[in-house]
Amino acid sequence: MERDDLKLAEREALVPSTPAERAETPAWASAMIPSVFVVLWSSAFIAAVIGTDAAPPLLLTFSRFALAGVLLTGVALVTKAPWPKGRLLAHVIVTGLLMQAVQFGAFYTAIGAGLPGGVVALIQGFNPVLIALLAGFFAGEKISRQQWLGFAVGGAGVALAVAGALHFSTTAIVLSFVGLLGLSVGTVYQKRFTKGADVRSSTAVHFLASAPVMLVMTLTLENPKVTNWTGFGGSLAWIVLINSVGTFLLLNFMLKKQDATRVGTLFFLTPAVTALLAWVVIGQTLSTSAIVGLVLGGAGVLLTARK
């Protein structure tokens, strides 16, 4: 990272950076954050499959946002995190609606319509390509030729893997791409307009702003009734504690330390990890074309992330 970028990242960090504070986080721990993020993020698709089998998808989405919003609000209050105000608050709300309401409302509805969680993860694998285009066009982030090659290879791999899922509901696939667009636009929007926002309070605002939207949608578009409380409760607990709180805090932390394009490359890894978790946890398998696509996606990550 260049010197100016390093100074900017320090100014954007949760607490002003000093040598003593930086020493509190070991280098090995910082290096593990991307890997931990990928595994935890991928597990959300498996939990969503279980959750949408037990309750309507928008009800699951609302429950996730409401509980995570309350939990993170408590964390922010106890730790005395500064809350966004004025124009910054408006930008944080927009970011939350894009990254939460649009993304997960669409993703969970697609999964509830029968599209496997692994396939949704594969579609989400296009996120680095969209982020690269959006960040380059709107945020002025420079992308090297090697990164573009990585995007091309990774994108081709994701496309190959997704091609085998075309026999599923077309509406579900379209919804998955809508969710992808919400994540990608929200990531770039956050990077550009919410600099200086505290990770704890801003993530709480994301959920609190998105929960009412999902409540209205579940009450008007579906029958909000739980058919399996064990499956619903277990998946909701995992989604709230691990995915809603843990992964999004990690995501926001990484976005403050790195440019949006590099953080976005991590999503090339989620399809392969999701496929492995789906096979281990719920017994889902992949076709040969999907496996080849995952290999190409991993190659794209290596090309993009390599310095």
Q: Is 143 left (phi over 0), alpha (psi -120 to 50) or beta?
A: beta
Q: Is 222 left (phi over 0), alpha (psi -120 to 50) or beta?
A: beta
Q: What is the pLDDT of residue 288?
A: 75
Answer whether residue 14 shows pLDDT above 60: no
| Candidate ranges 8-12, 183-187, 205-209, 283-287; pick with highest mean pLDDT | 205-209
Answer whether residue 245 shows pLDDT above 70: yes
Q: What is the pLDDT of residue 300?
A: 74
Mean pLDDT within 17-23: 42
> Residues near 177 by Cβ (< 8 Å), separated by ≥ 6?
123, 126
Q: DSSP string covering 86-137, please? A: HHHHHHHHHHHIIIIIIHHHHHHHHHHTT--HHHHHHHHTTHHHHHHHHIII
Mean pLDDT within 82-90: 95
Q: What is the pLDDT of residue 260?
A: 66
> Residues near 284 by Cβ (< 8 Å), separated by ≥ 6?
116, 117, 118, 275, 278
Domain locations in the chain as residue ranges: 30-245+252-305
Helix, strand, or coil here: 33?
helix
pLDDT grade for 16, boundaries at 50, 70 and 90: very low
d(CA 7, CA 189): 21
Answer whether residue 106 shows pLDDT above 60: yes
The distance from CA 122 to its chain's CA centroid, rounded to whole angstroms, is 13
Q: Indicate the pTM of the whole model.
A: 0.78
Residue among 180, 11, 184, 203 nearest 105 (CA)? 180
